[in-house]
């Protein structure tokens, strides 16, 4: 194999922000899955690797030449309480590569053993959560939502001790970077403001605001205010994306919010079925802090924590202005996307109210969020029955549909093209929770990756309705959803 062309700026430029640390050696690395298209995007020469060597490389047994494995330091607010020291307790960034599109990407291992940040943890990961992160990340990517992605999942041949003994695995994760809000908090909490500034400069160079070395980069403090604004814009956009596919992250702690604007750290995440803003699946989120409907407000709260770390670099007014603007940034992004889902091309003043009343209708009747949107597209294309079949009280639906039809009548374009456009922004397949569990159980308990592969195939083509895949679009039985709980899997 040609060596991976690492160029490890974080390790090189930010000494003192991490601990250099080797991965553990595992007894019996076995390649579960390799993400070949992502490998190609990264310019990795995977065709030259046999499965055995791939497993050794991506288990951490034979770190690739040029890797400089590091455990990054970070802190974080977890469920509102501040933990000054978290850090990569079971993950290592191997290094960075420039992908085929010219973007710098981190390649990291997760589940690669204890590090100086492990606290009480064993540093390991189990097959189930590793494959969950693989599946959900690929689903999000296919939905067009910024996300970290899995490059490989390797079984370790070890048993990890959880509520019950489970087979172990290592995930190789690719990310635009692993800079988190919590990374800034780690140094700010120690009063190391010079390090916060260096991190901010690094973030600007790596993620924008686009002008890193250009003549247009404003001098401080505007430069740092521009960084804060860029992060707020990315998060507003990301949150709108999440909300419009019914994604519930489940653990939106500040250490799980990426500066790059990617979805990161798939733990107890899940997709909503019947529309209800109070939906929570995570077993540890007993107060519902990270419920579906709270997510935009939590993102703003997290951004305020980020802004606090930058206060020595900008004026308080600058920080306040960005944080105060977040709700309208989010609403604007949300409105653009929900218009697309409604099939509306020309903005009109009543669109937000029309959309919100639709959601209220779904809420009142607990209609499946994903199917409702998709069947609305069918209606727009001239087939109303699949939509009406989702509602118990079709009277209320028809009241809303009359308004909708009136609104659509003001739009240019044919019904067919509108329906097509709507189907491109509302998936038919999401990773249904019961399907995800089925795939993970088969893989973890029976070493059977068949259900995983079938589900991966479906959710990586989320907009393409396939007649023989109806059981992948169907919601879980109500009784299953009512009891469904997700776990951190740590």
- The residue ranges that bind ligand AMP (CB under 6 A) are 86-90, 117-118, 121-124, 251, 255-256, 265, 267, 488, 490
- The residue nearest Mg ion at its CB is 265
> What secondary structure does DSSP assign to 1-56, as a single string?
-PPP----HHHHH-TTSEEE-PPPP-SS-EEEEE-HHHHHHTT--GGG--HHHHHH
DSSP state of 311: G
Mark the segment that binds Mg ion (CB under 5 A) among 115-123, 134-142, 257-265, 359-367.
257-265
- The residue nearest ligand AMP at its CB is 121
Q: How many residues line the site for Mg ion (CB under 5 A)?
A: 2
DSSP state of 82: E
Specify the residue, 122 or 465, whose C-beta has the smaller distance to ligand AMP. 122
- Residue 378 binding result from ligand AMP, Mg ion, none, given CB thresholds of 5 to 8 Å by partner type: none
Which stretch of DSSP H or E encloses residue 23?
Answer: none
**Smallest distance, ligand AMP to C-beta of residue 86, A:** 3
Dihedral (CA of 276, 278, 284, 286) sign: negative
Among 265, 273, 285, 437, binds Mg ion (CB under 5 A): 265
Q: Is 5 helix (H, G, I), strand (E, B) or coil?
A: coil
Mark the segment that binds Mg ion (CB under 5 A) among 32-40, 202-210, 252-260, 385-393.
252-260
Specify the residue, 117 or 247, whose C-beta has the smaller distance to ligand AMP. 117
* Distance between CA atoms of residues 279 and 258, nearest Å: 23
Specify the residue, 256 or 318, whose C-beta has the smaller distance to Mg ion. 256
Q: Is 263 in the site for Mg ion (CB under 5 A)?
A: no
**5-16: b (≥16 Cβ within 10 Å) or e:** ebebebbeebee
Specify the residue, 24 or 265, whose C-beta has the smaller distance to Mg ion. 265
- Per the residue annotation, which of 24, 88, 255, 285 is the catalytic one? 255
| Alpha helices (H) in 268-414, listed in sequence order | 295-310, 316-342, 351-364, 369-380, 385-388, 394-409
Among 148, 172, 256, 444, binds Mg ion (CB under 5 A): 256
**Smallest distance, ligand AMP to C-beta of residue 262, A:** 14
- Residue 87 binding result from ligand AMP, Mg ion, none, given CB thresholds of 5 to 8 Å by partner type: ligand AMP
Half-sphere exposure of 171 (CA within 13 A, CB side): 26
Dihedral (CA of 135, 136, 142, 148) sign: negative
**Smallest distance, Mg ion to C-beta of residue 267, A:** 7
Torsion of CA 464, 469, 473, 479, to 10 degrees: -170
Mark the segment that binds Mg ion (CB under 5 A) among 136-144, 251-259, 283-291, 368-376.
251-259
| Alpha helices (H) in 381-475, listed in sequence order | 385-388, 394-409, 415-425, 433-446, 450-459, 470-473
Specify the residue, 17 or 391, whose C-beta has the smaller distance to Mg ion. 17
Is residue 106 part of the annotated active site? The answer reads: no
Positions marked catalytic: 255
Binding site for Mg ion (CB under 5 A): 256, 265
């Amino acid at each position: 194999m040609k060596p991976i062309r690492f160029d490890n700026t974080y390790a090189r430029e930010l000494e003192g922000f991490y601990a250099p640390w080797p991965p553990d050696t595992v007894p019996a690395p076995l390649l579960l899955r390799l993400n070949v298209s992502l490998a190609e995007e990264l310019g990795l020469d995977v065709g030259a690797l046999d499965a055995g060597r791939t497993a050794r490389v991506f288990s951490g047994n034979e770190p690739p030449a040029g890797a400089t494995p590091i455990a990054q330091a970070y802190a974080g607010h977890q469920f509102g309480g501040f933990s000054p020291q978290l850090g990569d307790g079971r993950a290592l960034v191997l290094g960075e590569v420039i992908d085929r599109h010219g973007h710098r990407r981190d390649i990291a291992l997760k589940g690669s053993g204890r590090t100086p940040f492990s606290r009480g943890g064993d540093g390991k990961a189990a097959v189930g959560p590793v494959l969950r992160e693989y599946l959900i990340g690929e689903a999000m990517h296919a939905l067009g939502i910024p996300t970290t992605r899995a490059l490989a999942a390797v079984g370790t041949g070890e048993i990890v001790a959880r509520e019950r003994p489970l087979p172990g695995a290592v995930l190789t994760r690719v990310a635009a970077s692993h800079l988190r809000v919590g990374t800034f908090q780690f140094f700010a909490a120690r009063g190391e403001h010079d390090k916060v500034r260096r991190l901010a400069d690094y973030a600007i160079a790596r993620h924008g605001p686009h002008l890193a070395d250009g003549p247009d980069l404003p001098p401080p403090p505007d430069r740092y205010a521009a960084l804060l604004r860029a992060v707020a814009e990315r998060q507003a956009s990301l949150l709108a994306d999440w909300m419009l596919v019914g994604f519930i992250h489940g653990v939106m702690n500040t250490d799980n919010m990426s500066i790059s604007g990617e979805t990161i750290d798939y733990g107890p995440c899940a997709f909503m079925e019947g529309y209800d803003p109070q939906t929570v699946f995570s077993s540890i989120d007993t107060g519902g802090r990270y419920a579906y409907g709270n997510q935009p407000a939590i993102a703003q709260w997290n951004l305020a924590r980020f802004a606090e770390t930058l206060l020595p670099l900008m004026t308080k007014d600058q920080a306040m202005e960005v944080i105060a603007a977040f709700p309208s940034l989010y609403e604007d992004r949300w409105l653009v996307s929900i218009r697309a889902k409604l099939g509306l091309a020309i903005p009109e003043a009543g669109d937000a109210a029309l959309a919100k009343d639709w959601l209220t209708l779904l809420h009142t009747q607990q209609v499946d969020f994903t199917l409702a949107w998709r069947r609305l597209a069918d209606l727009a294309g001239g087939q109303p029955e699949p939509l009406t079949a989702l509602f118990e009280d079709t009277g209320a639906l028809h009241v809303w549909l009359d308004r909708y039809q009136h609104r659509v009548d003001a739009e240019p374009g044919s019904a067919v093209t509108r329906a097509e456009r709507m189907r491109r922004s509302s998936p038919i397949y999401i990773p249904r929770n019961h399907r995800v569990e089925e795939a993970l159980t088969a893989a973890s308990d029976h070493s059977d990756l068949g259900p995983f592969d079938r589900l991966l195939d479906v959710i990586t083509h989320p907009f393409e309705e396939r007649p023989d895949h109806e059981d992948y679009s169907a919601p879980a039985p109500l009784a299953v959803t009512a009891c469904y709980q997700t776990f951190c899997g740590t």
